[in-house]
A and B are shown apart, each in its own frame.
Chain A
Amino acid sequence: MKRRKISSFEIINITILIAFCLLVLLPFLHVVSLSFSAPESSFVEIRFWPEVFTLKNYRQVLRNRDIYTGFMNSIFRTVVGTALSVLATVCAAYPLSKRNMPHKNFWTIMVVFTMFFNAGLIPTYLWNKQLGLMDNKLVLILPGLISAYNVVIARNFFMGIPDSLEESAKIDGANDIVIFFRIVAPMSKAIIATLALWIAVGHWNAWFDSMLYIRDASNQVLQVVMRRIVLEGQIASLEIDDPLLASTANPETIKAATIMVTTIPILCVYPFVQKYFVKGVIVGSVKG
């Protein structure tokens, strides 16, 4: 192989891109640093590392009841919601991938139409309320159970599996459901993993449904608890827990620690799962 000289263009280019990365990362570093800063630190100079390192903010945040319940509810909706959604999505997608499904075009249009038109906020809200989903944990899972976009992606994947594999099973007398779970699903691990990760991140990040339908603090998700503390500045609930700390607490450091508690689970998984996401985007954009 030829040894390549690094040109001045490449140096400039990489410098620009690294500067860009810093620009993306600095707001995050700032929050990380704040979250580890002692509440009484001075904030008169620019710094991206704590002046005095402490875990006090985290201790205070994690001891808070609302945040604990919120964390648990977010985990619940992510785990249960993702499992149900993936199951419902592949069960919808597999029949649509079969040539001989009765009225296939009609059913496909029924699914795809919802990608382009929806009822909008108010009719959906009133209807879900009428269904008794107000203050019900199911509201976090059921109304968004199946996304048409995901069904289309899964359907396209299943269409790529050769029929011959299923034919032999059919001769042995297996029905479509058995064939799907015994033969097709094990071959589709890649797409199922992609969908699961996609849906799981969506569940962890979802906040609007919870804000809209859930009034009761014991059913609230972490994003909404965090929103109340960080964006609406309702720190009061945090301070009641520890009157000693309350006198010295700096709202900014507490807010930063709250943001981090919401973000850390994503930060832990995203570098490993992003390649599945990228694959999904490319599959989706080339032929939806």
Chain B
Amino acid sequence: MKIVLQDLKRYYKYRYMMVMFLPAVVYFIVFKYIPMAGLSLAFKNFQIKAGIWASPWCGLDNFKMLFQSPAFWQSFRNTLIISAYKLIFGFPAPILFALLLNEVRQSKIKKLIQTVSYLPHFLSWVVLSGICMQFLSPSSGPFNMLLKEMGLDPIFFLGDPNVFRGTLVGTHIWQSIGWGSIVYIAALAGVDVSMYEAADLDGATRWQKMRYITLPTIAPVITIMLILAVGKMMTDDFDQIYNLYNPGVYNVSEVMGTYIYKRGIGNMQYEVATAMGLFQNAIAFVLVIGTNQISKKINEYGLW
């Protein structure tokens, strides 16, 4: 009782501060935490008339149904495969770009190249997919026209299941390489110039300087970024995939996010889609927290 009274006194003392904070409390409860309570739907049998809260419980039935569905496992696999490709090919790209850019001494050219490379980051995937579709079109896109002029067959970047994942990775790199390089460029700016000067006196080559000075200095940043990227493997780029894919390539690119959307919003199977969302978010949560802890141990570079 005494503690409560003390707390109330403290809140009264800082009442103006708390009034300022009140809208945030309301916002987070109404728009974040109440929907989280709505995750209980994953263990319920949803009835429209009863709504989320009054629908009857059904144990793990929704999960059983989910785990028996081949389409679910397909989307689970696709999420992991596409994430793995993006990690393998997309992760080194901005590092390479930053290293090349770091060698440019003319600061105006450097600025210009950087600004251009950021452009796709500022546009939505709705716009970017429109642009990609026109550019990669097998009939009128410049890329395939070039192939035709060279006497090659056109590539159906968006329609051929064998190349579609490649298209996803390629457009992902196109969109994110410039923006992703910012962290590395900032780290490269921190490399001690006197080390290069000393290396120059010893007659080190450009390659040796990169191998023995530049890379070791930015290695911690690379490690952290890699760990964080692994932590994000369960989150699929819904925006990119939903706007680029089509029925012809569903089997190689239906990921968890798009499948939840279709099954939940499209087919109104709310409980199963909620169960799937919970499954995905729970794994993602564990991965992110786990990798973040590791990165914090390695160095003071964690997310918080």
| A and B from one complex | yes
Contacts of A20 in B (CB 8 A): 97, 113, 117
Contacts of B11 in A (CB 8 A): 102
A117 touching B285, Cβ below 8 Å: yes
A208 within 8 A of B: yes
B142 within 8 A of A: yes
By Cβ-Cβ distance, the 5 closest A-B pairs, closest first, are: A123-B38, A120-B277, A119-B35, A92-B24, A205-B124
**Chain A contact residues, majority secondary structure:** helix
Q: Interface size for chain B: under 10, 10 to 19, 20 to 34, or 35 or more residues?
A: 35 or more
Contacts of A10 in B (CB 8 A): 103-105
B85 within 8 A of A: no
**8 sample A-B contacts, Cβ–Cβ < 8 Å, listed by A number:** A21-B112, A21-B116, A24-B120, A46-B142, A91-B20, A94-B17, A122-B260, A122-B264
Contact with B along A122-150 (1 / 0, CB 8 A): 11111100110000000000110110000
State how many angstroms separate the Cβ of B1 from the closest Cβ of chain A.
18
For B25, B206, B277, which residue has the most chain A Cβ atoms within 10 angstroms? B277
Number of residue pairs across A and B with beta carbons under 8 Å?
Answer: 252
A180 within 8 A of B: yes
B126 touching A231, Cβ below 8 Å: yes
Contacts of B304 in A (CB 8 A): 112, 152, 288
Using a CB–CB cutoff of 8 Å, the interface residues on chain A facing chain B are: 4, 9-10, 13-14, 16-18, 20-21, 23-28, 30-31, 34, 43-48, 88, 91-92, 94-96, 98, 100-103, 107, 110-112, 114-127, 130-131, 142-143, 145-146, 151-152, 175-177, 180, 201, 205-208, 212, 223-224, 226-227, 230-231, 252, 255-256, 258-259, 262-263, 266, 270-271, 274, 277-278, 281-282, 285-288
Using a CB–CB cutoff of 8 Å, the interface residues on chain B facing chain A are: 7, 10-11, 14, 16-21, 23-25, 27-28, 30-32, 34-39, 41, 51-52, 97, 100-101, 103-105, 109, 112-113, 115-120, 122-124, 126-127, 129-135, 140-142, 145-146, 149, 174, 178-179, 182-183, 186, 206, 238-239, 243, 257, 260-261, 264-265, 270, 273-274, 277-278, 280-281, 285, 288-289, 300-304
How far is B270's CA from A117's CA once the two chains are assembled, in angstroms?
Answer: 19
Find the B residue at minimum CB distance from A112: B304
A120 touching B130, Cβ below 8 Å: no
Contacts of B131 in A (CB 8 A): 27-28, 30-31, 259
State how many angstroms separate the Cβ of B13 from the closest Cβ of chain A.
8
State how many angstroms separate the Cβ of B60 from the closest Cβ of chain A.
17
B32 touching A201, Cβ below 8 Å: no
If A13-B103, A21-B116, A122-B274 touch, whether A177 touches B285 (CB-CB below 8 Å) is no
Contacts of A224 in B (CB 8 A): 126
Contacts of B112 in A (CB 8 A): 21
If A24-B174, A120-B277, A121-B260 touch, whether A30 touches B20 (CB-CB below 8 Å) is no
If A119-B36, A120-B281, A286-B301 touch, whether A146 touches B28 (CB-CB below 8 Å) is yes
If A13-B103, A16-B100 touch, whether A121 touches B273 (CB-CB below 8 Å) is yes
A226 touching B27, Cβ below 8 Å: no
